[in-house]
Chains A and B, each alone.
Chain A
Amino acid sequence: MKIVTTVKRVTDPDMKVKIKPDGTGIVTDGVEYRMNYFDEYGVEEAIRLKQEHGGEIVVVSVGADASTKEIRTALAMGADRGILVETDEELDSDAVARVLAEVIKEEAPDIVLMGKQSVDTDRNQAGQMLAAYLGYPQATFAFELKVADGWATVGREVDGGTSTKRVKLPAIVTADLRLNEPRYASLPGIIKAKRKKIDRKTPGDLGVDTANRVNVLQYEAPETRAAGQIVESVDELIEKLRTEAKAL
Chain B
Amino acid sequence: MGNVLVVAELQAGVVRKVTLDTIAFARQAVDVIGGQVHVLVLGDGVDAQAAEIAAGHGADVVHAGNGAAFANYIAENFTPAVVQAAEAVDAEIVCAPSSMFGKDLMPCVAAKLGAGMVSDATEVFDDGGVRFKRPLWSGNVITTLEVTTPRKVATVRTTEFEAISGYADASVQAFTADVGARDDAEFVSFDQVKSDRPELTDAAVVIAGGRGLGSGENFDMLMTLADQLGGAVGASRAAVDSGYAPNDWQIGQTGKVVAPNLYIAVAISGAIQHLAGMKGSKTIVAINKDGDAPIFEVADYGLVADAFTAVPELTEKLKSLGIGS
Contact = CB atoms under 8 A, between A and B. Distances in A.
Given A140-B103, A158-B101, A220-B141, A125 B117 contact: yes
Given A129-B110, A228-B284, A17 B182 contact: no
A242 B301 CA distance: 12
Contacts of A119: 137-138, 253
B142 A220 contact: yes
Interface residues of A, number: 78
B139 interface: yes
A215 B147 CA distance: 6
Nearest to B312: A234
Contacts of B149: 213
B188 A166 contact: yes
A129 B137 CA distance: 21
Nearest to A163: B190
Is chain A's interface secondary structure helix, strand, loop, or mixed overall?
mixed
Nearest to B291: A230
B175 to A, nearest CB: 21
A214 interface: yes
Contacts of B279: 222, 225
Contacts of A127: 107
Interface stretch (B24-32, B59-67, B212-220, B317-325): B317-325
Contacts of B117: 93-94, 123, 125, 213-214
B104 A128 contact: yes
B176 interface: no
A177 B254 contact: yes
A221 B261 contact: no
B168 interface: no
Contacts of B318: 238, 248
A165 B298 CA distance: 39
A217 to B, nearest CB: 5
Interface string A210-243: 0011111111111001001111011101101110
Contacts of A182: none
Contacts, number: 257
Interface residues of B, number: 92
Interface string A114-130: 00110111111111110
A58 B245 CA distance: 36
Contacts of A93: 107, 117
Contacts of A214: 116-118, 145-148
Interface string B165-185: 000000000000000001111
Contacts of B187: 163, 165
Interface stretch (B35-43, B44-52, B74-82, B85-93): B74-82
B248 A221 contact: no
B107 A129 contact: yes
B163 interface: no
Contacts of A242: 323
B131 interface: yes
B136 A159 contact: no
B126 interface: no
A184 interface: no
10 contacts: A128-B103, A141-B103, A158-B190, A166-B188, A213-B115, A214-B116, A220-B142, A229-B301, A241-B301, A245-B283
Interface of B: 11-12, 16, 74-76, 79, 99-101, 103-108, 110-112, 115-120, 131, 135-149, 182-193, 199, 201, 229, 237, 240-241, 246-248, 253-254, 256, 261-262, 272-273, 279, 282-285, 291, 296, 298-305, 310, 313-314, 317-318, 321, 323-324
Given A166-B188, A177-B254, A217-B145, 4 more contacts: A94-B110, A137-B185, A140-B103, A237-B285
